[in-house]
Amino acid sequence: MSLRPTASEPQTLSIKSFLEGHHRGLRQKIDHIAQSCRALPADQMMIAESLAALQVFAATHFADEEKLMDDVHYPDRGSHHHQHRHFLDLIRDLQTTVSQDGLSDGMDVPGQIAAWWEQHSVIHDRALVDFLCRGGI
């Protein structure tokens, strides 16, 4: 997948399509985890597997996004990269907890993931898109 717009593809649409495609995939993974948690009784193995799939997908997305940030010399790439590592650590911690201890009452696995992702998208990804649209590419 090329992250650079082509002559026939406006820059803003290319950036938007790239992020929307990846974010749609992340949202699907989060929704799958939520469904697994709502099943009664909750299937801990399914939740752990769903978390593992999310971690792989997110790591790939983050690598693509971080390459883009490096390519365009995005000034806030260090902080953005740090946020990505934080998310992968969160997923790893949730996997460990679910695998070892199961789901405890009040443990909102999908809520924790969705809260991080929504905040990251609105603040960090929006800032990246704004930078790219101002000519960062």
Domain 11-136, what fold?
Four Helix Bundle (Hemerythrin (Met), subunit A) (1.20.120)
As a whole number, mean pLDDT of residues 65-88 equals 93
**CB-CB contact of 74 with 131 (8 Å):** yes
Judged against a pLDDT cut of 60, whether residue 49 lies above it is answered with: yes
Tokens matching residue 6: 């082509």
**How many whole angstroms separate alpha carbon 1 and alpha carbon 10?**
16
pTM: 0.76
SS (H, E, C) 52-101: HHHHHHHHHHHHHHHHHHHHCCCCCHHHHHHHHHHHHHHHHHHHHHHHHH
Q: Is the pLDDT of residue 13 over 70?
A: no
Q: What is the pLDDT of residue 137?
A: 55
Per-residue pLDDT tens over the stretch 82-102 = 999 999 999 999 988 888 877
Determine the pLDDT at residue 59. Answer: 94
Count of beta carbons in the 10 Å neighbourhood of residue 8: 5
Hey, where are the domains in the chain? 11-136
Confidence tier at 108 by pLDDT (50, 70, 90): confident
pLDDT at 66: 93
Q: What is the mean pLDDT of residues 132-137?
A: 72
Confidence of residue 63 (pLDDT cuts 50, 70, 90): very high
Q: What are the phi and psi torsion angles at 40 (to 5°)? A: -115, 125
Percentage of the chain modeled with pLDDT above 90: 26
**Vertex 43, ends 39 and 49: CA angle to 5°?**
120
